[in-house]
A and B are shown apart, each in its own frame.
Chain A
Amino acid sequence: DAKTTQPPSMDCAEGRAANLPCNHSTISGNEYVYWYRQIHSQGPQYIIHGLKNNETNEMASLIITEDRKSSTLILPHATLRDTAVYYCIVGTNAGKSTFGDGTTLTVKP
């Protein structure tokens, strides 16, 4: 499964959009991009996934570049409760994909 690269930390002002980037330059054609987040001392929470097209749900939007080598998770109006570690994972089998170090997003008032 492809590995991912994410910035270790980001800050965002409350109410503003949070844009979290992820590089996955070795992604294969049949591998999905998954995003999860983990709030302190809790299990990870599924956010969104995509293959080629951009996706949107009630939590976030996922923008995948045309060459699929990178993606961006967008939280349109970040709140303090969005402070968490965000993991970008790629793979055909989400269970076998490796969790990297993720991005620690801190939403500030």
Chain B
Amino acid sequence: GAVVSQHPSRVICKSGTSVKIECRSLDFQATTMFWYRQFPKQSLMLMATSNEGSKATYEQGVEKDKFLINHASLTLSTLTVTSAHPEDSSFYICSARVAGAFETQYFGPGTRLLVL
């Protein structure tokens, strides 16, 4: 199946700093990538949909100025958590959609963010 990578896998940062997470589709071109957040023992929550070359679409309640998304190429999307606070500590997961009839998503391994 299609492979999606994320970097870094884990990050610890101080409160008030910004953190950038990369999501790459390694063996296919993804016109659409998605960013999810998952808190412990909870399900995935969609944060935003990222389309190559256009502005991301954010879900209700997700601050676009805090979670900056850039999808500059068909294989790379980045999520920057700006001025991170402890409540932003979470598991961030991206997925990429293979264009085609079924629009199956393939997920990255996730990035665990801890804000101290």
Contacts and interface: CB of A to CB of B under 8 A. Distances in A.
B58 interface: no
Interface stretch (A13-21, A62-70, A96-104): A96-104
Contacts of A43: 4, 6, 93, 95, 107-110
A102 B43 contact: yes
Interface of B: 1, 4, 6, 32, 34, 36, 43-46, 49, 91, 93, 95, 97, 102-110, 112
B108 A96 contact: no
Contact of B104 (A34, A41, A92, A101): A34
A7 to B, nearest CB: 15
| 3 residue pairs, one from A and one from B, having the closest CB atoms | A43-B107, A99-B44, A95-B34
Interface residues of A, number: 22
B93 A94 contact: no
B27 to A, nearest CB: 14
Contacts of B105: 34, 36, 46, 94-95
A98 B99 CA distance: 20
B108 to A, nearest CB: 5
Contacts of B45: 99
Contact of A96 (B46, B104, B106, B112): B46
Nearest to B103: A94
